[in-house]
Amino acid sequence: MTNTEPVPDTVPARSRLAVWIVVPLAVTMGLFLILLATRDPSTTRVRQSRLIGGVAPAITGTAIDGSQFDLDNERGRWVVVNFFSTTCVPCQIEHPELVKFQQAHEASGDATIVSVAFDDSSENVRRFFERNGGDWPVLASDTGTYAVSYGVAQVPESYLIAPSGLVVDKLIGGIKLQDLESRITALEQAAAESRAAADNGGG
């Protein structure tokens, strides 16, 4: 006689286990995707870097206008070292902000910019600046070593160099003029307060 005793069904238990694993994972991924979709791509975000507090790595070379550039010659004023690519949308968005920054400091000469092309051609870079403006040194040839020395992983990525030649900030995701000006003002105020405290202590 054939044994007709039902075999225990383990499928529902497996299904319930899969639901408990998959649903929370799906919810987490969904929230992550929403965050990415709603994030402002031009928002300046300050990140830590091994370079902050140290002397800025050297940058020397021939700019696209034929002039010679040496970062060491910029001591005494603020420098924004901007790594960019002409095909990078956030780079295109931040460019007008850089133009406004350069124009705001042109008369006083207390700050400037140097742009370093990241995985781009000199011709593309030249056309980009002709079309979008920007009157500051731009290096587009043999720039790979600079990206390595600054630890650039993706663009846009910029470093703020103090008049002393020290790296004080790393900014990624696109620069905004107001954020950059506010940061420089805060650093200048902190330096002034530090000098005043040192003078009072010495008196």
- Residue spans of the domains in the chain: they are 46-199
| pLDDT tens series, the chain, 203 aa | 445 555 445 445 554 444 444 443 343 333 333 333 333 444 454 556 789 999 999 999 999 999 999 999 999 999 999 999 999 999 999 999 999 999 999 999 999 999 999 999 999 999 999 999 999 999 999 999 999 999 998 999 999 999 999 999 999 888 999 999 999 999 999 989 988 988 887 65
Helical (H) or strand (E) element with 79: strand 78-84
CB 15 within 8 A of CB 127: no
Q: How high is the pLDDT of residue 203? A: 58
Distance between CA atoms of residues 9 and 135, nearest Å: 75
Q: For domain 46-199, give its CATH number from 3.50.50.60, 3.40.30.10, 3.20.20.70, 3.40.50.720.
A: 3.40.30.10
